[in-house]
Structures are given as C-alpha cells and as structure tokens.
Amino acid sequence: MADIHVRVQHDDFSLDAELARLADPLRRCGAIASFVGQVRNDPAGNHALTALTLEHYPGMTERSLHALASDAAVRFALDAVVIIHRIGTLQPGERIVLALTAAAHRKAALHAVDYLMDHLKSTVPFWKQEHHGAQHRWVDAKHADDAALQQWQAHDAAR
Amino acid sequence: MNAAGMQIHLLYFARLRDALACDAETITLPGSNHDVATLLAHLRQRGGIWASELSGDKPFRVAVDQHMATPATRIPDGAEVAVFPPVTGG
C-alpha cells in the first residue's frame, strides 16, 4: 500500500517538510519527483494580476484528490503520493499546489507527477478567479472539449 | 421517498453561483423517478438566467452525491447535487 496524503488548506506548504515526512522504512524508493505550481502574473491587457482566489467544493475535493492519488499509486506502482492544494486569496508568486511522488525508479515518479497534474486540472473541483485591481474574472477552463463535455453535447444532440 | 415527492439539496459554485445569485437551496420534485436531465429541465423552467445558464450553450458540470454525473445519472431522494463550471484548479 502506498503512503497517500492529500490536503486542502489556506496555509502555505513546504516542500522540505513534505520530503522529510515521507516514510521509506524499507529504502525502496530510488526516485522522488515533485511539481510546485505558483501564481503567475498574467496581465489582462495592461492590468497586472493583483491576486488569485481559489474556491473549491468541500468534501468532493478531498474525495477526488484521494481517488486520483490512489489511482496514480496503482498505475505507476508508487510508494508515496502527496497532493497539497491551497484555497483562498493568493498573491502573484505564492505557491498554489504541490504534487509529490516516490517510486523505485525515476520515470514512474516523473510520469506520475504529470498524470496527477493533468487529472487534477480537469477533474478536481477547484475554480480560479483572477483579480486585476477592482476587476474580478473567473478563469475559463482550457480544455472545454474534454470527454465530459462531449458527453453533454452528445446528449443535447440526441434530444 | 414519499407521496409529496423527493428532496434534493442543490449547491452552486464559482461563476455559476455568481450568475444565478444562489449558492444553495433545497427543492422538492414531484414523483420519485428523477435523473440529472429531468432535474435540469425543472431548473430551466424557472426561465431567465436559469434557462440561459443551463441551456447547454455554456459548459457546466453536475455532481450527484459528490461524484461526477451525466444526464442519465439517477438522483436518489435526499441527494446532494452540485452544479458548477468546468474546473480550473492546479
């Protein structure tokens, strides 16, 4: 059984602290890979991004993250998976998300991080709102043509 | 389930919550045989912003008891049903 750890929190996280927390008593892990996402200053026209607010669906978020981590652990034979996602209002440069994996070998650990982030971005209920000064704008999903949408469209076409 | 119909606890998130000016409500639907498609048809009957936001022109998702749903997903009595825009985390 992989060591699975997911958290949704307002507070910042520390990669060092999460690395230190990884238990590997049998010394099986030859590889640890991580991704840290942070708030990028994406200007809207000539208005700088002043903040980003992250909202989520309490309950479903934690459930989805745990399911995703468990799925990745089996798929890539991971020994440990950590996903931490922040919520609330964050400033440019602040950390948003951590995906951390431990495996016997490098490629499994690296591919698993990519897999976690791709799926997190399309299946876990978080939403970003950009603040450009007094203007607030919900961020549109970048992959609106994903499978779930096609299912809706197929249903609508059949009506 | 009872003769008066079935209760559904609705939640709305992010841009949709702002557009509908509603974050949560409990409604009673007549009968005991509902899926996501019939629930959405009921909500669209309110007209106005409800009809335009839920028409399918703008993408949205539905979760039943915290699992992603399709139009054919059955809704049990007392279910928690969430309606929200495509997710944008990470």
Model ipTM value: 0.93
The residue extents of the domains of chain B are 6-69
Percentage above 90 pLDDT, chain A: 76
CATH of A3-158, one of 1.10.3720.10, 3.90.1170.40, 3.10.290.10, 3.40.50.150: 3.90.1170.40
pLDDT band at B36 (very low <50, low <70, confident <90, very high): very high
How many residue pairs bridge chain A and chain B with CB atoms within 8 Å of each other?
A: 91
Summarize the confidence of residues B24-39 as an average pLDDT: 95
Chain A positions in Cβ-Cβ contact with residue B86 (cut-off 8 Å): 122, 140-141, 143-144, 146, 148-149
pLDDT band at B51 (very low <50, low <70, confident <90, very high): very high
Give whole-number Cα distances, B22 to A33, A76, B11, B55, B79, in Å: 41, 41, 8, 17, 18
The class level of CATH for B6-69 reads alpha beta
Give the single-character DSSP code of A48. P
Name which of B78, B77, B76, B81 is nearest B66 in CA terms.
Answer: B81
Chain A neighbours among B 39-78 (CB < 8 Å)?
Answer: 56, 59, 61, 63, 66, 68, 70-72
The residue extents of the domains of chain A are 3-158
The residue of chain B with its CA nearest to that of A84 is: B90
- Write down the pLDDT at residue A159: 54
pLDDT band at A158 (very low <50, low <70, confident <90, very high): low
